Amino acid sequence: MATPIIVFDTTSDIEASVIVALLDSHGIDSFRISGHTQAIWPMSVNSLGPIRIAVADHEADTARRVIESHREDLGARVVRIRDEFEDLQDRIDYRFRDRGLLEHALTHRSRAAEDQTGGVADNESLEFLGDAVLGLVVAHALHEQYPDYNEGQKSKIKAQVVSTPSLARHAEQLHLGEHLLLGRGEEKTGGRFKQALLADAYEALIAALYLDGGLEAAERFLRREMKDALDQGATPNFVGQDFKSALQERLQALGRPLPDYRVSGETGPDHRKVFSVDVVVAGEVLGSASGNAKKEAEQEAARLALLGLNQSR
């Protein structure tokens, strides 16, 4: 059996993941090693402790060359591989004092479930907190922006602004999927592009901002992110906009059959189900979306189908 040789060490789970993926892309099998060298784990260890990356002895020199070729060279000084969260922090215009909070917010339960040490926590508790912070900030903004609207009108706008499809779109604009820490199974099934997963990570990010910088930091971020969606509340027919009816009218104008909405999957606990819906026309899927209610998912699937039809003209 080949002797493992340590070729890289770090205290960051995300940096360790980058190195493992880098070596894998060059056909080099690697292992994560915990604090003492006798315990080799296939998954990540506690992000607060040391993480060492090891390879078989006959591949050690090649692995080191690959790693060195991907370091940033600043003059004569070679520095560590760049912080994979640097671009994200630029996009959200916030620098975390506790980077661990950001890493926690982007850790999906599939990653935590594959960890054998119990040292990796998923982002579900942060998601719960972020949902509450989001609701408070949006409700406050609606109270200020639309003082003459009644409760029902503001509730409908809020539901649209904080819906799963809306949050997923914001996550996509931040390229949040690129930074998610996923388990192998979720990675293989396209977890980085799933609406429900992106929306959950977005809520967890809100919680991380709140915990690191207080309500002021979270509100500043959300006021900027949600401005366009909140402003649309003043436009006619924004509340309760019916994309399903619009899609039906568009298809009829094109002489095509009426759409059929099919539930393609359900995830999550009973008290917080996420439904995936396909809108199908003559056997062709024109749009797919997820939401906490079937009607919400259907509306978003119809919106995406309309967008596709308009782009194909």
Ordered DSSP codes for 271-297: GG-EEEEEEEETTEEEEEEEESSHHHH
Q: Are residues 113 and 173 in the same domain?
A: yes
Residue 14 clears pLDDT 70, i.e. is over it = no
Q: Are residues 95 and 51 in the same domain?
A: no
Residue 43 clears pLDDT 60, i.e. is over it = no
Query: In angstroms, what CA-CA distances link 88 with 101, 119, 209, 306?
Result: 14, 24, 13, 31
pLDDT value for 242: 75
Whether 131 is catalytic is: yes
pLDDT value for 200: 94
Residue 17 clears pLDDT 60, i.e. is over it = yes
Q: What's the rounded mean pLDDT across residues 2-10?
A: 83
Residue of 198, 201, 196 lying closest to 269 (CA atoms): 196
Q: Are residues 111 and 222 in the same domain?
A: yes
More confident residue, 10 or 305: 305
CATH number of 13's domain = 3.30.70.1530
Q: What's the rounded mean pLDDT across residues 56-79?
A: 67
- 65-98 core/surface letters (b: 16 or more CB in 10 A; e: else): ebbeeeeeeeeeeeeebeebbeebeeebebebee
Partner residues linked to 274 by β-bridges: 267
Q: Are residues 226 and 260 in the same domain?
A: no
Q: Are residues 29 and 71 in the same domain?
A: yes
Token pair belonging to 12:
């960051």
Cβ(105)–Cβ(88) below 8 Å: no
Q: Are residues 41 and 117 in the same domain?
A: no
- Calpha distance 284→172 (Å, rounded): 25
Q: Are residues 115 and 181 in the same domain?
A: yes
- 195-227 core/surface letters (b: 16 or more CB in 10 A; e: else): bbbbbbbbbbbbbbbbbbbeeebbbebbeebbe
pLDDT value for 74: 32
Residue 69 clears pLDDT 80, i.e. is over it = no
Q: Are residues 207 and 295 in the same domain?
A: no
Query: Where among 200, 234, 268 does a domain terminate?
Result: 234
Whether 172 is catalytic is: no
Residue 187 clears pLDDT 80, i.e. is over it = yes
Average pLDDT, the chain: 82
Q: What's the rounded mean pLDDT across residues 155-172?
A: 89
pLDDT digits (tens, 9 = 90+) for 213-229: 999 999 999 999 999 88
pLDDT band at residue 70 under the 50/70/90 scheme: low
Q: Are residues 52 and 78 in the same domain?
A: yes
Indicate the pairing of strand 73-74 with strand 40-41: unpaired
Strongest mean pLDDT among 7-11, 23-27, 41-45, 48-52? 7-11
- Taken as a whole, the chain contains a residue count of 313
CATH number of 295's domain = 3.30.160.20
Q: What is the 3-state secondary structure (H, E, C) of 197-213?
A: HHHHHHHHHHHHHHHHH
- Calpha distance 311→302 (Å, rounded): 14
Residue of 166, 176, 169, 14 lying closest to 89 (CA atoms): 176
pLDDT digits (tens, 9 = 90+) for 91-119: 999 999 888 889 899 999 998 888 766 66
Query: Where among 186, 213, 234 does a domain terminate?
Result: 234
pLDDT value for 46: 39
Q: Are residues 13 and 109 in the same domain?
A: no
pLDDT value for 76: 35
Q: Are residues 45 and 115 in the same domain?
A: no
- Calpha distance 124→200 (Å, rounded): 8
Give this prediction's pTM. Answer: 0.58
Query: Of the residues 115, 127, 186, 203, which is catalytic?
Result: 203
pLDDT value for 255: 87
Q: What's the rounded mean pLDDT across residues 136-140?
A: 95
Q: Are residues 214 and 249 in the same domain?
A: no
- Number of domains observed in the structure of the chain: 3
Domain range for residue 179? 91-234
pLDDT band at residue 163 under the 50/70/90 scheme: confident
Q: What's the rounded mean pLDDT across residues 234-252?
A: 73
CATH number of 146's domain = 1.10.1520.10
Query: Where among 83, 108, 137 does a domain terminate?
Result: 83
Q: What's the rounded mean pLDDT across residues 171-200?
A: 90
Task: Please state, for a pLDDT cut of 90, what percent of the chain lies above it.
Answer: 31
pLDDT value for 79: 36
Query: Of the residues 13, 15, 103, 131, which is catalytic?
Result: 131
